[in-house]
Amino acid sequence: MIYDPRLLTEELVISGRRLHFIGIGGVSMSSIAVMAREEGADVDGCDLCENEGTAACREKGIPVLIGHDPSHVRGCDMVVFSSAVPPHNLELTTARENGVLIVPRAVMLSRLLRDRESIGIAGSHGKTTTTYIVSELFRDQGLDPSVMLGGRAAEWRSSFHLGRGRHFISEVDESDGSLLCLRQKHSLITNIDFDHVDYYRDIEHLKSVFRRYAENTDGGVVVACGDDAGLRDALKGLDGRVAWYGLGEECEFRAVEVKREGLARRFVLARNDEPLGEFACPLLGDHNLSNAVGALALGALLGLDAGRMASTLARLKGVVRRQDTLGERGGVTVLDDYAHHPTEIRATISALRHLRHNRLVVVFQPHRYTRTAALYRDLASALTGADYVVLTDIYPANEQPVTGVSSALIAAEFNKLGFGSYQYIPRMELILRHLATACRPGDLVVTMGAGDIRKLGEMYVDGD
């Protein structure tokens, strides 16, 4: 997705030039900003509020301003922005009026990948965890890759790592189609599911973008989940290029002899029915078993040692905001999870059923008006897997309210499904009061969503 025609004809030279990042606190934007600075660019940026990303940039010596102002782009050579920045943003508008080169996030990332052996991890679900697993596999083989993660690993201080090795492992964002700007050497695709309805017309549009992304993979391997029917359909005819992984018999790489050991899964990884080694995945849920198999398949194809991969997988702690324990209050255990799509909600609830608890209480914050309007029926259906649900108001992200769209749509669907174990409580402070009286010792409370719902879980644990 190209926004400035000069990007089609001019080489993107960044060393010695001033780059201004709008929304620099974003997980990927902060990573790209630091990497651009390492390549000799004079980098600064702004965001609406302080967060881990802005702190990480300042730690690396990058000036960060809070708030948006046209004066921020004065004297800069390029403005870098992400899909989270609306087109009418004052800084973007000023940059256009003054002829400043405007560079989408994915184009800048592609520039940074240019001289590396790049590995892109894409898919509708599971790409953050899979990127984390792949990164740890490479790090433990002494390859010290650079990594850009769409979240923060439990063991890492930030969402990125600047390594000395030749590999650059990055999570690839599909939300606005900008993944087509990338030319990865190797690609791993986890699955395809209809989402980002503000950009994609329908599932066929989404499939076409992922197919083109796979076709753009430049000379290396394409690893894809063969258990996902939508992905198989999207990549139909590319079988000669694609190594399929999963649990199904038709997959080239698959987990066999799967056994549960406590919360972990022990399995044998086979390639065309030939065992490559025995592994244990400590990350909870069938979806994480699939993520692990994909990462191992990629590692095997790129020559990583199976014994070392087994040791790495067994020690992993996971990614922040994925089944993340916040603490305990009065015998009630509180977790936080990023699940915000029906498929993710179902997978997370299914995985959490393996933990010992009385009731599973989900505090769900819908994410974006457009997603809620398109998926409220499926969201309601997925949430009925919990014992009790508390609905909050919608987290808008960068969207304006849409008439007739609120969490009441999900509540009404609960009623149609005959699911009465819920409360719709818009205000956070009222939810805290409700949980204090409604929760019982032995309950498992999960704050769930892609917005700021984690704060509520932390406040509940702290007794606020």
Q: With the CA atoms of 273, 277, 281 and 287 taken in that order, what torsion angle do they form, in degrees rounded to the nearest 10?
A: -20
On the question of a common fold for 5-105 and 116-315, the answer reads no
Runs of H (alpha helix) within 39-157: 52-59, 90-97, 105-113, 127-139
Sheet holding 146-148, edge to edge: 160-161, 146-148, 167-171, 117-122, 186-189, 222-225, 242-246, 253-261, 264-271, 274-281
- Residue 422: strand pairing partners: 389
The count of C-alpha atoms lying within 13 angstroms of the C-alpha of 201, restricted to the half-sphere facing its C-beta, is 4
Give, in order, the Cα–Cα distances in Å from 115 to each of 105, 166, 376, 458: 18, 8, 44, 42
Give, in order, the Cα–Cα distances in Å from 374 to each of 58, 276, 382, 405: 39, 43, 14, 10
Judge contact between 392 and 425, C-beta under 8 A: yes
Judge contact between 405 and 373, C-beta under 8 A: yes
- List the structure tokens of 260: 């549960």
CA distance 400 to 176: 18
What pLDDT is recorded for position 439?
93
Judge contact between 274 and 255, C-beta under 8 A: no
Q: What is the pLDDT along the chain (464 residues), one digit of tens a residue?
A: 445 667 755 678 899 999 999 999 887 898 899 989 988 999 999 998 888 788 889 999 999 999 999 999 999 999 999 877 888 899 999 999 999 999 988 888 888 887 889 999 999 999 999 999 999 999 999 999 989 887 777 677 667 788 889 999 999 988 888 888 778 899 999 999 988 888 888 999 999 999 999 999 988 999 999 999 999 999 999 978 999 999 999 999 999 999 988 778 899 999 999 999 999 998 888 889 999 999 999 999 999 999 999 999 999 887 777 778 889 899 999 999 989 999 999 989 988 887 878 899 999 999 999 999 999 999 999 999 999 999 999 999 878 899 999 999 999 999 999 999 999 999 888 999 999 999 999 999 999 998 889 999 999 998 86
Judge contact between 174 and 194, C-beta under 8 A: no
| pTM score | 0.81
What pLDDT is recorded for position 2?
44
- List the structure tokens of 69: 């102002």
Q: Whose CA is closest to 374, among 193, 231, 230?
A: 193
Q: Would you say domain 116-315 falls under CATH 3.40.1190.10?
A: yes
Instruction: Note the CATH number of domain 5-105.
Output: 3.40.50.720
Q: With the CA atoms of 49, 124, 285 and 312 taken in that order, what torsion angle do they form, in degrees rounded to the nearest 10?
A: -80
Strands 146-148 and 160-161: antiparallel
What pLDDT is recorded for position 367?
94
CA distance 446 to 259: 27
If DSSP codes are grouped into helix, strand and coil, which group holds residue 441? coil
What pLDDT is recorded for position 397?
82
CA distance 44 to 20: 5
- Residue 103: strand pairing partners: 80
Judge contact between 376 and 460, C-beta under 8 A: no
Which amino acid, one-letter code, is at 255? A
Sheet holding 64-66, edge to edge: 64-66, 42-47, 18-22, 78-81, 101-104
- CATH fold label, 324-462: Protein-Tyrosine Phosphatase; Chain A (3.90.190)
Domain ranges of the chain: 5-105, 116-315, 324-462
